[in-house]
Amino acid sequence: MNVLLIYPKFPDTFWSFTYALSFIGKKAAFPPLGLLTVAALLPEEWSKRLVDVNVKNLTDKDLLWADMAFIGGMAVQRKSAKQIITRCNASNLKIVAGGPLFTAEPDEFKEVDHLVLDEAELTLPAFLSDLNNGQPKKVYRASGFCDLRDTPSPSWDLVKMKRYASMNLQFSRGCPYNCEFCNVTALFGHRSRLKTPQQIISELDRIYASGWRSSIFFVDDNFIGNKVYLKTHLLPALIEWRKDKKGCVFLTEASINLADDAELLDMMVTAGFDSVFIGIESPDEVSLTECHKTQNKNRDLLESVMIIHHSGLQVMGGFIVGFDNDRPSIFQQQIDFIQKSGIVTAMVGMLQAPPGTRLFDRLQRESRVVNTFSGDNVDGTTNIIPRMGIDRLSDGYQSIMKQIYSPKNYYRRVKTLLKELKAPEINQPLNIQRFLSIFRSAFRLGVLGKERFHYWRLMLWTLICKPRLISLAITLSIYGYHYRKICEQYIL
């Protein structure tokens, strides 16, 4: 059996880092971890190829080689996924599809031959068994959640790592919280299910043995969902693993209550983590109550961010406008919070209702779900009718993006972060691409860019006051260029 695993293309978004990747000579931010894990679950005797459309074109030769195509992806990849399905159908190629996009909206993909939904560890074996018996079904669903201790190591041999800016792996699935707008718990549940430290070390060893020395993203729904296990098992194992290793800094996603645990912060930094994405959502307590973001309430959010910065972890933040309780003042509140916090990577989006969430169900009952969920929380659109009115929401959203990603405000925020951030204990080695990115940024941002004055002023200040953070200053300057391009082309 010749199996072609196909990963759809991401559109240009904040998370695609399209305009930043050219500075370091990479094609995409991350490899398709889900499809690589699916590949490891397939029979060893099958021949497998992976085409990530983000780094390589899907050719007719690829389709002719295959007996069956496996497609996975997220909602934001919908357009590309539909194009790939059309091409496979034209080639009379059987299609197996799964992942968050197809699990949330199976009725939208009637052209797919077999929908293997939910977690592949549970549904893929049943499909393979039926396929072997010549009686595969249209749809496969799971009634529960899998044990991650049974999840195999991804098939890294199917990708060329040098095409990507970062590697990724997964330690846990699930989140203990119940935010109304989030589909994580619908997909993966409220209990954090964990891999063993031995599994993680094995995956890290394989990535490191390939020569990788750059960033590695722990793509957990909430990395600190089980703090006790994290502190007693995984982090000690990571700290021990790092003792004879160079490079390989980690980043992940967590909840704001990370700031409440000094020991956990210290262990994460010692283990090699240098940044964490946190859903701040809103500085307004009433809106936090509305969306059941309980972990963010009854605290000084600015102070919590500062605590995390002081530990050595950079906070990347998610923000939302368009809650029912948001007032016109929310737009300036968001701008003020983002600027004061020093959160450089501020992903601000209009509220959307993903299928399967409690928010979607509530607004559907109120006849307020009007469009398809785009999956891109920073594209300046929404699939709901907001209480404040779509025109006011759109205007307010654009005012936020225009201000926080103007060169003046962006570089001011970078400086605020660098002032607060403890210098990292682990640095990535300077390879040829990172070396060239220094000159590319100096020329494209410092000579050609409209931000050149702000760029050179930041570089000079950093060299004098925070010389150990000069690499981060350059990186964030490059990110700022990407964010502004996305704002200018797709939002403003």
The residue among 360, 385, 420 that closes a domain is: 420
What the block records as the tokens of 52 is 């990530």
Domain assignment present for 149:
no
Residue 387, domain CATH: 3.20.20.70
Q: pLDDT by residue (tens digit) across 221-241?
A: 999 999 999 999 999 999 999
Same domain, 65 and 179: no
Q: What sign has the CA pseudo-torsion 140, 145, 149, 154?
A: positive
Same domain, 173 and 87: no
Q: pLDDT by residue (tens digit) across 310-345?
A: 999 999 999 999 999 999 999 999 999 999 999 999
**pLDDT attached to residue 492:** 82
Q: Which residues contact 244 (CB under 8 A, 6 or more apart)?
A: none
What the block records as the tokens of 251 is 């980043």
d(CA 349, CA 74): 17
Domain assignment present for 151:
no
Domain assignment present for 425:
no
Q: How confident is the model at residue 425 (pLDDT cuts 50, 70, 90)?
A: confident
Q: How confident is the model at residue 476 (pLDDT cuts 50, 70, 90)?
A: very high
For range 451-466, the mean pLDDT: 98
Q: pLDDT by residue (tens digit) across 18-55?
A: 999 999 999 999 999 999 999 999 999 999 999 999 99
For range 449-456, the mean pLDDT: 96
Q: How confident is the model at residue 83 (pLDDT cuts 50, 70, 90)?
A: very high
> How many domains does the chain divide into?
3
Q: How confident is the model at residue 264 (pLDDT cuts 50, 70, 90)?
A: very high
**pLDDT attached to residue 480:** 97
d(CA 228, CA 93): 48
Instruction: Report the relative pairing of strands 47-52 and 68-72 from DSSP bridges.
Output: unpaired
The residue among 386, 420, 454 that closes a domain is: 420
**pLDDT attached to residue 90:** 97
Same domain, 300 and 178: yes
Domain assignment present for 215:
yes
Same domain, 475 and 438: yes
Task: Give SS3 for 219.
Answer: coil
Residue 124, domain CATH: 3.40.50.280
DSSP state of 119: -
d(CA 215, CA 249): 5
Neighbours of 443 (CB within 10 A): 11
Q: Is the pLDDT of residue 174 over 80?
A: yes
Same domain, 252 and 124: no
List 217's β-bridge partners, or say none: 168, 251
pTM: 0.96
Q: Is the pLDDT of residue 478 over 80?
A: yes
Q: What sign has the CA pseudo-torsion 283, 391, 481, 27?
A: positive
Average pLDDT, the chain: 96
**pLDDT attached to residue 491:** 87
Domain assignment present for 158:
no
Tell me the CA distances in angstroms from 153 to 41, 156, 206, one per residue in order. 9, 8, 9
Same domain, 235 and 192: yes
Same domain, 99 and 190: no
Domain assignment present for 152:
no
Q: Contact 284/333 with Cβ under 8 angstroms?
A: yes
Same domain, 373 and 457: no
User: ∠ CA(6), CA(12), CA(13), 5° rounding?
Assistant: 110
For range 204-218, the mean pLDDT: 97
Q: Is the pLDDT of residue 380 over 90?
A: no
Same domain, 106 and 232: no
Segments forming the whole domain that contains residue 251: 166-420
Domain assignment present for 146:
no
Same domain, 400 and 482: no
Q: Is the pLDDT of residue 426 over 80?
A: no
Identify the CA nearest to 97 among candidates 31, 219, 5.
Answer: 5
Q: Is the pLDDT of residue 252 over 90?
A: yes
**Percentage of residues in the chain with pLDDT exceeding 90?**
94
Same domain, 106 and 176: no
Domain assignment present for 370:
yes
Same domain, 351 and 218: yes
The residue among 376, 399, 420 that closes a domain is: 420
